[in-house]
Amino acid sequence: MSIDGAPPPEPADLLPERSVLTFEEYMAMQRAVGNETRFRVLYRHKRDGAMSAKELREALLDHGVEELLRREQAFADAYE
């Protein structure tokens, strides 16, 4: 934002002047985490560290099942 509060003329100008990312790198990062599956993979790698493909698959499947069960329970609780 400019001093008068108006948005900048170019979207790339939204990044801080001393940004470590270029606008193209920032947009690529947004695309990567904008997909739920990719976000879950990145999250698991960040949270749990290095894993084999099998360990990652199991973690993602376990998390997916747990999330589904939580949603089902919340749904059931809402209608009791």
Question: Structural domain boundaries of the chain?
Answer: 16-78
**Can you tell me the distance from the alpha carbon of 63 to that of 20, in angstroms, rounded to the nearest whole number?**
33
Distances (CA, A) of 4 to 1, 7, 8, 42, 70: 8, 9, 10, 38, 46
pLDDT at 50: 86
Note the pTM of the prediction, 2 decimals: 0.43
Distances (CA, A) of 40 to 2, 19, 34, 49: 36, 26, 10, 13
pLDDT at 3: 62
pLDDT digits (tens, 9 = 90+) for 15-53: 888 888 899 998 988 887 787 777 777 788 888 888 888
